[in-house]
Amino acid sequence: MDYKTNVMRMLDQKKIPYKSYSYADTDAISGAEVAEALGQNPAQVFKTLVTVSKSNQYFVFVIPVKKELDLKLAAASAGEKSIRMLPAKELLPLTGYVHGGCSPIGMKKVYRTVVDVAASHFESIIFSAGKIGYQVELTLADLNKILPYKVASLTV
C-alpha cells in the first residue's frame, strides 16, 4: 500500500512492524462490514471508543467490533464511578480523529487506554489506522511499545 496514515508513519518511526489494509474502495461502514470486505476474522478486528468519566477524565477502550462496551465494566477498569460515551461532535477536537477512523495510536494526547481481554486470544489485532478506509494489524506486545495500556474485560 502506497498511502500512509499518521498512525503508519508513527509505527514506521518507532520501527514497529505492522500490516496495513485498505477498504477505501468498498462500501463497508461498520467494523463487521470492514472485516468481511477484507476477509478478516471479525473477532480479531477491534474498534476504538472514547469515553469521559464523571470526574471529567478521558479514557480509550479498544473492543471487538461485534461487541458493545459495557459501561460498568469500563468504569471499573478505569477506577471510576461512571463513564459515558464521548459525544461524536467532541471526538475530532479531542482526539484529532473522526467517528469511524479513530485509532488508539496518535491521538492529540495519550489517554489511559484499556484493551478488551478478547485481544489476548490472538497473536495480533486489527484496528483503525486513523483514517476511514485504512487499518493496521500488530501484536499486543508491539502496541505496548507505542501506547501504554491495560487489559480488562470490557464486554458481556
**Rounded to a whole number, what is the distance in angstroms from the first to the last CA of the chain?**
36
pTM listed for this prediction: 0.95
| pLDDT greater than 70 at residue 1 | no
- pLDDT of 31 over the 90 cut: no
Within the chain, strands assigned E span: 19-22, 46-53, 58-64, 83-85, 112-116, 124-128, 134-139, 150-152
51 inside domain? yes
Q: How many C-alpha atoms does 86 have within 13 Å on its Cβ side?
A: 23
80 grid coordinates: 471510576
Domain boundaries, position 77: 6-152
User: Do the domain assignments include residue 113?
Assistant: yes
Q: How many residues does the chain have?
A: 156
Give the position of cell 508491539.
142
Under the banding of pLDDT at 50, 70 and 90, the label for residue 61 is very high
CA distance 150 to 67: 19
75 in any annotated domain:
yes
pLDDT digits (tens, 9 = 90+) for 108-156: 999 999 999 999 999 999 999 999 999 999 999 999 999 999 999 999 8
Q: Does residue 34 lie in a domain region? A: yes
**Measured CA angle at 97 (ends 24, 117), to 5 deg:** 90
In a domain, 30, yes or no: yes
In one letter, which amino acid is 1?
Answer: M
What is the pLDDT, as a whole number, of residue 107?
96
3-state helix, strand, coil in the chain (%, to 5): 30, 25, 45
CATH number of the domain at 22, please.
3.90.960.10
Instruction: Provide the number of structural domains found in the chain.
Output: 1
If you average pLDDT over every residue of the chain, what do you get? 95
In a domain, 1, yes or no: no
Tell me which residue has cell 495519550: 110
